[in-house]
Structure 1
Amino acid sequence: MQKLLFIVVLQFCMLSVSAQQTKVSSTLLTQIKQNKYFPEVKSKALAVMKTGFNAGDGYREVWIRDYNTFIELAAAVYDKEVLKENLLVFFRMQGDDGNIIDGFTPAEKITKGETDFSYSKLEPRYAGHKNSVETDQETSLVQAVYKYIQLTGDKSILQEKIGNKTVLQRLEWSMDFLLKKRFNKKYGLIIGATTADWGDVQPEAGWGVDLDNNTHYAIDIYDNAMFVIALNNIIQLNPTKAAQWKKIKDGIAQNCRKHLWDSKTQKFIPHIYLNGSPFPADFNENNIYYFGGTAIAIEAGLLSKAEIKTSLNEMISRVKQAGAPSIGLTLYPPYPAGFFINKIMNPEYSYQNGGDWTWFGGRMIQQLIKYGFVQEAYEQVQPMLKRVIDNKGFYEWYSVDNKPRGSGTFRGEAGVLYVAIEQFEKIK
């Protein structure tokens, strides 16, 4: 166990060093400086951010998993007090067991008959909603608060009193919720419902966003990589408990490698099932490659530089096999039609079942830049940028033939591209 921990820590250190020592050719540097897409996409991103904090045209809620990915963009447009207030709403609406809601919407917008909402005396202005099949709301909030502090220097938010707890205490309470309510002792990893990679729709009957008696519980890389990132953030936010949180984080990181990484195929397995699979017995789910979860695992420092390059090569290969537009592809091959009862996941290459999401592809670009693959990042980001220009804006996802789908003015896409462009522009 100690040897495995040493390897994981050594890999993380090596990645950090390689990122700091990155140098690019003069040709690539010129291409970056002269790229016609960068300024236009940044300008469009700033413009769309000025119109609000909801995820996009098709959503009335401010979602924490989205806000976490466009808070850097928001910081370029809004005063820090506005950013802070949005974060504090999530703490005021925190559950009695420490769980964090997905998103909030003005209470007056809830129509008669809508029941899947929660309310809090600490925040009467809003109604909260939670897709309970996910296990990334708590980790997304930790990451967003950490980014807020990095962006603004405002550490006072941690001591802000919400009810009888400070924000820092509530952040740790949310981590305790995961360890008490969403932790599997056998594997030493957190759990959720079966979903497609980072998605929020389970295969079973109904709309598919709530845990119920039909849920097939599973372990995947996305949830656990998000947890590792959040724990790294908590360690920095509360140094007095660093040893306690580091022990937990190291255990999660080790178990991700031990149970989810398939060293033979050099990919993460989709799921470890705890009460059986929802899919037919003859279906080989391990053929599926999860793009988004892999990108987040890289952000969590779970892969070596060689493994990152192998992962990128596999992504590019599978994008070609699918005939898809970019490495924002959620997964490949997609789940066969009918495997998810919710029609939004059908047919193949629809929504989270093989749709192309810059929201995650852009995060892969960020990690490629961070870890020294600047040439590769530059090449792979081009189709993501071009379709923003071609479609005159940001969309939630794209079909396999590169047509815009879902919500317009999708701020998650705007946010991750904005950060990636900023990274490119800082390269010298």
Structure 2
Amino acid sequence: MAENRKRVVLIVVLLSILLSAVVAARRLVPSSVTSAVGSLPPMNYEELSSPPAQTTWNVPDYPAIGAMRDGGLHTLRLCETEFEGLEGTVYGLVPGREYGMIFIRDTSTMMPALQYFYGDQYLRTPIEEFLRRQYGSEAASADGDIPGDGAISGVIAAGGHIDKATVVSDEETHLIHAACQYYRAVGGTEWLQKELSGETIIARLNRALEWLYIHRFDDGHQLIKRGHTTDWGDIKLEAAPKPTNIDPDTDHWTCSIYDQALTYRALLDLAEMNQAVGDAARAHELKAQAEQLRRSANEKLWDSARGWYLLHLHVTPLVHDFPEEEMIGISNALAAHWGLSDPSRTQRLFSSLEGARLAARARKPGLSLYPPYPEGFFAHEQMSPGEYQNGGLWDWWGGMQITAEFETGFSAMALAHLRMVGKDWASHPAEVFEWQMPSTDEGWGSPNYASAAGTMTEAIVRGLFGVTIERDRARVLPRLRKHDGEIRAFQPSTGLYVSYDYMYGQDSIVLDYGSNHPRSIEVRLLFPLGRGIEEVSIDGAQVPHQVETLLQDSYCAFEAPSGVHRAMVRLQAH
């Protein structure tokens, strides 16, 4: 009896596997069948017509990219946390499982991914808690520092804990960006006008930026300043009991490309939000500030001879006995992505970043800087060459780099880089490391780093599949090139979804899609360079389109109605 039962179970398992294979084969028919209009497969109407249970994706040619979904989500789940805040429970994610606090810079960079797996409380409550704990004129950090009115803590934890890393200048800008992401995706204007402890959210955000310009704007260079870290790091060069705090009387000040890129983005984010609440005058002023900062950064930090932005310039005079100007930092990718750069600079800096990766023998993108600072330059013991923030390899930053490449006209490079990460993750499927040595597989820091899982998820959902879901817009920009793929993107906080099946053929590209978004879908479909567009149709009816070229990428742009439809782009003959 027991033996028969085992046979039955085995047969059921085998049938289940066979059925799954058949379903997968039907869902994504090989590309060859799409070369002729008459041989197209039927639409997967059932899946496309309703919100998926969860966000998933699949690229049959690259199963490692598909596997990154489960590895990333597993890491995010391990880093969930909750505690009692000032006015209710706070739900969020710590950067790594070993961390005991929610960090604003990590929250900001995880937001693009979290919105596809978590409900409203995980998106909204950390932002509101950071704002509720905003410093007043006499408020002190856990270490006794009094940063000044409007400042934002770098962390929040149970018991009202706040602590600002005063050596950096990105905590206010990260909070502004996190708030803008929530405003666009879920909150809307009503949320910006919500009062927290007697002050509206938009007023608190404005006060945060005012703190930055009062305490961190260098009049001489017309740039944002910070301590002497790497371009983005929070470890200063000087020896101190707490290396994340600056001594303004003795420590060195710099202006890094990282802070200029983040502040530029924050100024535009804040302008958008002020415009939404009807403050057009402030929005205009913020845009003017952004343009001034952009001009100053390009004038003073761009190295035209080398083709990248300098890590920083020195506000406090300091002469190194090594060529610091030969170092290239990962923040170059951020400057390109967030618009501080322009197309000609962007092309050069991505080429330079790739050259640095190859020179460092790094197996994937995300190289923090290269070459690193020499041994002993930083007093902190973990800042030896090639370690941590001094030349370590970070998936956290690699994810942002890949998204930047996808969105600035380098989709071929981005896909190649994403495949490198997928291959690396497959070698340690239960772990997403905080950072690694550039040329080895050895992982360091947290083995469950949610920040890395978040930015790599963004690189796939927003970068590769090109899906954006916001209250007022939905966008689909498939960058799969000649590889079939599918995505089911669901936003739990709103119930909105965008799903599609992408099929590439020699003469046509087919996009079967479904969405319940109240507005039409903006479609930008990447097509091969050197090919023209014969026509674009939706459900067999021809629709107008435009061709848009962004550096190395060309897109066929058209508007598509919400609902379930088949879009087809017919390519001109070679």
Contact 1:98 1:174 in 2 (8 A): yes
Structure exhibiting the larger radius of gyration computed from Cα positions: 2
What CA distance in whole angstroms lies between the structure 2 residues aligned with 1:229 and 1:177? 16
Deviation at 1:153, TM superposition (A): 4.6
Task: Measure the CA separation in 2 of the matches of 1:344 and 1:32.
Answer: 38
Q: Which sits farther off after the overlay, 399-408 or 179-188?
A: 399-408
Q: CA RMSD in A?
A: 1.9
Higher strand share: 2
328-337 or 75-84, which deviates more: 75-84
Aligned-partner residue type, residue 49 of structure 1: L
Letter in 1 for 2:76: M
The residue number in structure 1 matching 2:304 is 263
Per the alignment, in what secondary structure is the counterpart of residue 395 of structure 1? Answer: coil
Match of residue 104, structure 2, among 49, 58, 64: 64
Q: CA deviation at 1:37?
A: 1.8
Contact 1:42-1:418 at 8 Å conserved across structures = yes
Deviation at 1:35? 1.7
Identify unmatched segments of 5+ residues in structure 2. Answer: 1-30, 35-57, 81-92, 137-148, 467-477, 479-524, 526-574
Identity %: 27
Secondary structure at the aligned position of 2:445 is classed as strand
How far residue 32 of structure 1 moved from its aligned partner, in angstroms, is 5.0
Query: Of 254, 258, 270, which residue of structure 2 is paired with 1:218?
Result: 254
Are residues 349 and 298 of structure 1, via their aligned partners in 2, closer, same or farther at CA, if it must alter by over 3 Å?
same
For residues 377 and 329 of structure 2, what CA distance do their matches in structure 1 show?
A: 17
Structure 1 residue 304, shift from structure 2 partner: 2.4
Structure 2 SS opposite 1:238: helix
What secondary structure, in the 3-state scheme, does the structure 2 residue paired with 1:50 have?
helix
Could you say which structure has the higher helix fraction? Answer: 1
- Contact 1:183–1:190, Cα closer than 8 Å, also in 2: yes
Runs of 4+ in 1 over 3 A off after TM superposition: none
> Does the CA-based 8 Å contact 2:104-2:174 persist in structure 1?
yes
Distance 1:408 1:214, change over 3 A: farther
Q: Corresponding residue for 2:155? A: 103
**Does the 8 Å CA contact 2:183/2:192 hold for their aligned counterparts?**
no
Q: How does 1:13-412 map to 2 (within 5 A)?
A: 34-51=61-78, 52=80, 53-96=93-136, 97-107=149-159, 126-206=160-240, 207-212=242-247, 213-239=249-275, 240=279, 241-277=282-318, 281-291=320-330, 293-346=331-384, 348-392=385-429, 393-400=431-438, 401-412=440-451
Checking the alignment, whether the CA contact within 8 Å between 1:58 and 1:406 is kept in structure 2 is: no
- Distance (Å, rounded) in 2 between the aligned partners of 1:414 and 1:67: 12
Count the aligned residue pairs. Answer: 379
Q: Deviations over 1:372-407 (max 9, x none)?
A: 211110011222222222122211111121321111
Find the aligned partners of 2:423 and 2:190 in 1 and give their Cα distance: 40
Query: How far apart in 2 are the matches of 1:355 and 1:83?
Result: 29
Q: Give distance in 2, aligned partners of 1:84 and 1:155.
A: 14
Residue segments in structure 1 that go unaligned for 5+ positions in a row: 1-25, 108-125
TM-score (structure 1 length as normaliser): 0.85
C-alpha distance in 1, partners of 2:420/2:231?
Answer: 22
1:330 partner amino acid: S
TM-score w.r.t. length of structure 2:
0.64
SS in 2 for 1:34: coil
Higher RCO (C-alpha under 8 Å, 6+ residues apart):
1
Conservation of the 8 A alpha-carbon contact between 1:49 and 1:73: no
Secondary structure in structure 1 of the residue aligned to 2:232: coil
Does the aligned pair in 2 maintain the 1:32–1:424 contact within 8 Å?
no
Task: Single out whichever of 265-274 and 226-235 deviates more from structure 2.
Answer: 265-274
Q: Are the aligned partners of 2:337 and 2:407 in contact in 1 as well (CA < 8 Å)?
A: no
Instruction: Provide the C-alpha distance between the structure 2 equivalents of 1:402 and 1:328, rounded to a whole number of angstroms.
Output: 14
